[in-house]
Amino acid sequence: MSMINEMIRGLLEEPDMIAALGNVSACINEVYDRLNWAGFYLVKNGELVLGPFQGKVACTHIAFNSGVCGACYREMAVQRVDNVHERRDHIACDAASCSELCVPIIVNGQCVAEIDLDSPEYSRFTETEEKEMLQAASDIAEAWLKHQW
């Protein structure tokens, strides 16, 4: 298991969801370089709603049919985008963002939240980071059930 995944597992012992995810976003932001945003979107009231994050002011509501985060929700699959400007439905919360990694958090077959990472660098995200964030999503899903978030 990678160092970041060990750290995230420890942070997920916290029973309060906002506190735990706040620290997980801080951990990701500290461990991964060249990010301008690291955080979560939570599924609430038929849309994605901004959760704990590190970075610049962000979009607070994202429709399921919009952008990289919407595609992640609809497909319940990782979206690793090397150049967000090539996606016609990209939502530019921060015009400096050039690449994005979005990973669904799936609990009982439903996407309940997403990990979203942005970078001002093209092709920033690697297969290794994708695997680490998939493991983080799995660990968050376990904590979701354990703590009844």
Please give the structure tokens belonging to residue 131: 């695997």
pLDDT band at 1 (very low <50, low <70, confident <90, very high): confident
pTM listed for this prediction: 0.94
Q: Are 84 and 97 in contact (CB under 8 A)?
A: yes
CA distance linking residue 68 with residue 52, whole number of Å: 18
Region 59-75: mean pLDDT is 95
CB 98 within 8 A of CB 36: no
Confidence of residue 94 (pLDDT cuts 50, 70, 90): low
What CATH fold (topology level) applies to the domain 3-147?
Beta-Lactamase (3.30.450)
Is the pLDDT reported for residue 13 higher than 90? yes
At 104-123, the pLDDT tens digits run: 999 999 999 999 999 999 99
pLDDT cut 70: percent of the chain above it: 95
Query: Which residues share a beta bridge with 9?
Result: none
Q: What is the CA radius of gyration of the chain?
A: 14
- Residue 146: what pLDDT? 98
Residue 40 CB burial class (10 angstroms; 0-12, 13-18, ≥19)? buried
What pLDDT sits at residue 79? 97
pLDDT given for residue 96 in this prediction: 79
